[in-house]
Amino acid sequence: MPFPATRLRRLRQNRTFRRLVRETTISVDDLVLPLFIVPGRGIKKEMESLPGNYHLSVDCLVEEARELRDLGISAILLFGVPDAKDKNERAFGAYSPTGIVQQAVRAVKENVPGLLVITDVCLCEYTPHGHCGVLKNDYLDNEASLELLVKTGLSHAQAGADMISPAAMLDGQIRALRQALDSSGFLNLPIMAYSAKFASKLYDPFFKEGTQSALTHGDKRTHQMPIGNSDEAMREIAMDVEEGADIVMVKPGLFYLDVVYRAKTEFNMPLAVYNVSGEYAMIDAAARLGRLDRDAVMFEALRCLKRAGADILITYAAKQAAKYLTSKKLSVSDAVPEVESFAGRELSMKFSGIDGTAGSAGLVGSQWKSSSSD
Ligand code: PBG
Ligand code: ZN
């Protein structure tokens, strides 16, 4: 039906209509926050390139995890940042029972029940050269690296991880890990596969500052995917699904929305998207220059990732987003008067909430709907 019978602006005329027909919402349920764990005690040091994110020692991680759980965030994704002395060619720190991630997992599972703990299973943080496994003549040896990757995944499971997330882009890594988990009794431990992980230049803040595992030489193009290939990304996902992945992933997110969309429509699998360090850092840096509205653009990014097909959003903005979703100020700031009363009611319900926690999902979800991005 053409104009003038059809006027698409009818359903945009006020917030109430816009809410009614909104197709994509974000809730705290979708959010996974990556965290970087360092040895020591009492360490909570903000990262310059990822403001609002920290290097945390295990004791501070526990405090942080409590706060995140109370905000309603679903899960954390742990990365270890071992001392240089705890790195070697065989990445022994990755699968040591007393390794940094293993300690972190145990501490969070013991002290903060209810928060899912996911571990990144890769070796690059634990080798002196920063490559994702064992090098032979400077080439990443698939089978030799797989063996260490399996030891790493198993040790995370033994430490109590709720889910492991193999990140190395080795051929056969999901099959190897699934078999190892199953034969060790971890039948119910899901795998979130970094299935289509591109050899992107957007990981620099992660390596340079986050995990301090920048490559000493070479690059990761013999195992991570060529950035221009989307059919190949579908083959990677298909193989991971066949090998037993429970959740598949596309990474990075924002430049790769076509891949996200294809992944969702072609596989109908639970899909995670990693909104990587460079994506976060770009928006943050532009905001610092006064060129962009930081929060609005961060949320636009997250909403667009979800619209493209993401079910799970792994983002350095997760905590800020969760706070924003529960924030009284933002939830009523741009509401039209008749909606303000809804927002007010939601807030008073929340603050007199029966469970006493800040992040009851349904209420948080409805507050997100009153946020300024609508
Ligand atoms: C592998 C891993 C990386 C990232 C997450 N897991 C590095 C890589 O893939 O080469 C990057 C995440 C980011 O940039 O935020 N351990
Ligand atoms: Zn790696």
pLDDT in tens, 44-90: 999 999 999 999 999 999 999 999 999 999 999 999 999 999 999 99
**pLDDT for the residue numbered 374:** 62
Q: Which of 345, 323, 322, 339 is nearest to 374 (CA)?
A: 339
The conformation of residue 120, written as its DSSP 8-state character, comes to: E
Q: Which two tokens stand for residue 332?
A: 């009523």
Contact 115, 102 (CB under 8 A): no
Predicted confidence (pLDDT) at residue 159 exceeds the cutoff of 90: yes
The per-residue pLDDT for range 220-257, each reduced to its tens digit, is: 999 999 999 999 999 999 999 999 999 999 999 999 99
pLDDT mean over 173-196: 98
Environment class of 307 (CB within 10 Å of its CB; exposed 0-12, middle 13-18, buried 19+): middle
* pLDDT tens string 281-329: 999 999 999 999 999 999 999 999 999 999 999 999 999 999 988 874 4
Of 130-134, 254-258, 275-279, 324-328, the least confident? 324-328
Pocket of ligand 1, candidates 77, 203, 208: which has the most ligand atoms within 8 Å of its Cβ, to mutate? 203
**Dist. CA 167 → ligand 1 center (Å):** 7
Checking if the pLDDT of 204 tops 60, the result is yes
Parallel/antiparallel/unpaired status of strands 54-57 and 44-46: antiparallel
Which residue from 50, 119, 197, 277 has its CB within 8 A of the most atoms of ligand 1, so it is best to mutate?
197
Kindly identify the ligand whose nearest atom is closest to the C-alpha of 170: 2
Please state, in angstroms and as integers, the Cα–Cα distance from residue 24 to each residue in 178, 266, 302, following that order: 33, 20, 10
- pLDDT at site 326: 81
Q: Mean pLDDT over residues 182-206, rounded?
A: 98
Query: What is the predicted pLDDT for the residue at 299?
Result: 95
Question: Residues lining ligand 1, judged by CB closer than 6 Å?
Answer: 120, 122, 124, 167, 197, 203, 206, 220, 276-277
Work out the number of other CB atoms within 10 angstroms of the CB of residue 113.
8
- Give the ligand at the shortest distance from the Cα of 79: 1
Show me where the domains of the chain are located.
Answer: 25-324, 326-374
Cα 306 to Cα 250: distance, rounded to the nearest angstrom? 12
d(CA 105, CA 61): 10
For CA atoms 283, 288, 292, 298, give the dihedral sign: positive
203 Cα to the center of ligand 1, angstroms: 6
Q: How many angstroms separate the CA atoms of 187 and 179, rounded?
A: 9
Q: Specify the pTM.
A: 0.89
Share of the chain above pLDDT 70, in %: 87
Q: Which residue has the higher pLDDT, 141 or 354?
A: 141
Burial class (CB in 10 A: 0-12, 13-18, 19+), 300: middle
Can you give the pLDDT at residue 325? 85
CATH of 25-324, one of 3.20.20.70, 3.40.50.300, 3.40.50.2300, 3.40.50.150: 3.20.20.70
Q: For the chain, give the number of residues.
A: 374
* C-alpha count within 13 angstroms, C-beta hemisphere, residue 74: 17
Q: Whose CA is nearest to atom 12 of ligand 1?
A: 276
Question: Rounded to the nearest whole angstrom, what is the distance from the C-alpha of residue 367 to the centroid of ligand 2?
Answer: 38
Ligand nearest to the CA of 200: 1
Per-residue model confidence (pLDDT) at position 356:
32
Q: What are the catalytic residues?
A: 197, 251
d(CA 360, CA 353): 8
* Cα 321 to Cα 31: distance, rounded to the nearest angstrom: 9
Residue 365 has pLDDT above 60, yes or no: no
Output the pLDDT for position 50. Answer: 98
Six token digits for residue 360: 């009851």
| pLDDT of 171 higher than 50 | yes
CA–CA dist 109, 103 (Å, integer): 10
How close is the Cα of 297 to the center of ligand 2, in Å? 29
Q: Which long-range contacts (CB under 8 A, 24 or more apart) does 318-321 make?
A: 318/31, 318/32, 318/33, 318/68, 318/73, 319/33, 319/52, 319/67, 319/68, 319/71, 319/73, 320/52, 320/295, 321/26, 321/28, 321/31
Maximum pairwise Cα distance, the chain: 72
* Mean pLDDT across the chain: 90
